[in-house]
Amino acid sequence: MIKVNGNAVTWRDGMTVADALAAMNYDFGHITVTVDGRHVPQDDFDTTPVPDGADMKAIHLHHGG
């Protein structure tokens, strides 16, 4: 199991940041992610593994005026 923004998500072998975001239905164009406190660049979401027990934070960046 991992946690994404405090919510439990079932972990699977080979899970990536992109997989975890999909499990949470997060499909925002601008999002910043940390895994166990380490920033993950958006270009690396598809290749960055998320280990079992990880604490992942995902913050949707938005702006307006």
List Cβ neighbours of 29 (8 Å cut-off, separation of 6 or more): none
**For position 29, what pLDDT does the model report?**
82
**For position 62, what pLDDT does the model report?**
80
Residue-wise pLDDT tens digits, 11-43: 999 999 999 999 999 988 899 999 999 999 999
| Pairing mode, strands 55-60 and 31-35 | antiparallel
pLDDT greater than 90 at residue 51:
yes
Q: Say if CB 48 and CB 17 are below 8 A apart.
A: yes
**What superfamily does domain 2-60 belong to in CATH?**
Beta-grasp domain (3.10.20.30)
pLDDT greater than 90 at residue 48:
yes
Q: Say if CB 54 and CB 37 are below 8 A apart.
A: no
List Cβ neighbours of 61 (8 Å cut-off, separation of 6 or more): 28, 30, 31, 32
Judge if pTM exceeds 0.95: no
**For position 28, what pLDDT does the model report?**
85
